[in-house]
Amino acid sequence: MTKRLQVLFDDGEYAALQAAAASRGMTVAEWVRQALSAARRDASTADVDRKLAAIRSAVRHSAPTGTVERLISETERGYATGVDAASGNGGY
pLDDT in tens, 24-63: 999 999 999 999 999 988 887 778 888 899 999 988 887 7
Model confidence pLDDT, tens digit, residues 80-91 = 887 665 555 555
CB of 13 within 8 A of CB of 21?
A: no
- What's the one-letter identity of residue 1? M
Rounded to whole angstroms, the Cα distance separating 62 from 60 reads 7
pTM of the model: 0.50
**Domain presence at residue 17:** yes
- Domain membership flag for residue 75: yes
Residue 62 lies in a domain: yes
Domain span at 30: 11-83
pLDDT at 82: 78
Count of domains observed in the chain: 1
Q: Report CA torsion sign: 28, 21, 40, 13.
A: negative
